Structure 1
Amino acid sequence: MELWFTEKQTEAFGITGKVKRTLHNEKTAFQQLNMIETEQFGNMLLLDGMVMTTERDEFVYHEMLVHVPLFTHPNPQKVLVVGGGDGGTIREVLQHPTVTKVVQVEIDGKVVEYSKQHLPHISSAYGNPRAELIIGDGFMHILNSSDEYDIILVDSTEPVGPAASLFTKGFYAGISKALKKDGIFVAQTDNPWFKGDLIRSAVQDTKEIFPIARLYTCNIPTYPSGMWTFTLGSKTYDPLEVEASRFFELNTKYYTPELHHASFVLPRFVKDLCK
């Protein structure tokens, strides 16, 4: 008998993959957590039935969330990651030698625990002396911070359950307060095929708070529609004006200096969401 997992991405569409075995199944205090081993994408983390990351394609999301803002800022030293319990975001942040500290606030410690066990390559940066892990509420951490971070990265699930508050204008305003005077933030903002209204709202809210607001995209095969967006808000630095001399060699599989700029070139239907 074959076992298949399907993520129902809308009421009429989903993505499916063949499962070798179930590695872990638990209802945590915050969400349903599953780890499965798949034929096509290796070990896969699911939260509330949604694909969060896989061994085979995780590098796209983590590299694009991190390296676009960190290369845009000329001297990123202190970075905050909200969410991202699999550890891939802090792994990428720590490739930047100017970073002296990355603070991660993850609400569900079970995500960290089972990522260490079943996604060791993704979670490999846990224990790094420049990284601090806080199991707690990222929303409240932001509200209690002021003029503290050079970069804030919102590595959240979709806007349901514990992540719902991370897609509000009030949260973006709190991020602005928590950033230094030349700070930058990036949040994952889902896909334009199914969640256009979410993207439109996120970009508009960011425009009202930050002098510079940009949307950029990448391709992630296991995420809904395969096309994913990130919304960037910056107080000073424009990601489109990063000079070639700023870039240095990284251990990446997706991100390149050329792609840094190209990712902001949007299809018309996506560009229309930013008006």
Structure 2
Amino acid sequence: KYIPSVAQGLLSERVNCRFQDGVEYVRTTDRRYDVIIIDSTDPVSVGEGLFTREFYQNCANLLKRPGVLVNQSESPAWQPELVQRIARKLQTIFSGVHFYQAHIPTYPSGHWLFGFASNELHPLNDFQEARYRKAALSLRYYNDAIHRGAFALPTFVQELVNAT
């Protein structure tokens, strides 16, 4: 309604947006999803539950096979300890956890991480470039090179997300 240029994808019949308590929803629903994208608040106050191992496990339980969980993973420059905690929690649940980055000027530091967690899919090895090109999407930001490049992390970020 307020920024339609960034919300066009939400109009697809394939998208199911839930505007409610996410912790409660994933604990009680019996629906299954191909992809769960968590666009969460910061992990303070009522948002803390969206960053717990229990919440991530409940999300994993709702994924079809193959399925993917994508989550906000905060700023590696401003919140390195939080990034590590998120990585460790996801790594105890999913066999494949990969992080990618985006530059979002309106977020603290402008450098933001997102988790890509799956037990079956790899974000680069399973990327279907021919299918993407055939779709001929008219996108202003995303393209196949951005997809690959987003997973190329600076050394300090690799050290954060790979620390055990």
TM-score (norm 2): 0.87
Q: Deviations over 1:92-145 (max 9, x none)?
A: 2556xxxx5422222xxxxxxxxxxxxxxxxxxxxxxxxxxxxx3111111113
Give 1 or 2: higher strand fraction.
1
Q: Which residue of 2 aligns with 1:119?
A: none
Among 153, 157, 162, the alignment partner of 1:270 is 157
Q: Percent identity among equivalent residues?
A: 32
Q: Which residue of 1 aligns with 2:129?
A: 244
Q: Which residue of 2 aligns with 1:103?
A: 16
Q: Which residue of 1 aligns with 2:75?
A: 191
Give the AA of the match of 2:24: M
Q: Distance in 2 between matches of 1:249 and 1:228?
A: 27
Aligned: 1:253 with 2:140 = yes
Inter-CA distance 233–93: structure 2 relative to 1 (3 Å threshold): farther
Aligned length: 158
Among 84, 92, 101, the alignment partner of 2:9 is 92
Q: Distance in 2 between matches of 1:147 and 1:138?
A: 13
Q: Larger radius of gyration, structure 1 or 2?
A: 1
Inter-CA distance 273–146: structure 2 relative to 1 (3 Å threshold): farther
Q: Distance in 2 between matches of 1:219 and 1:267?
A: 13
Structure 1 runs (4+) greater than 4 angstroms displaced: none
Question: Over aligned residues, Cα RMSD in angstroms?
Answer: 2.1
Q: State the Cα distance separating 1:166 from its structure 2 match.
A: 0.3
Inter-CA distance 249–93: structure 2 relative to 1 (3 Å threshold): farther
Task: Report matched runs for 1:117-266 at 5 Å.
Answer: 136-146=20-30, 148-241=32-125, 242-247=127-132, 248-266=135-153
Give 1 or 2: higher helix fraction.
2
Q: State the Cα distance separating 1:204 from its structure 2 match.
A: 1.4
Q: Deviations over 1:181-202 (max 9, x none)?
A: 2110101111111111111111
The 8 Å contact of residues 192 and 270 in structure 1, kept in 2 or not, is answered as yes
Secondary structure at the counterpart of residue 209 of structure 1: coil
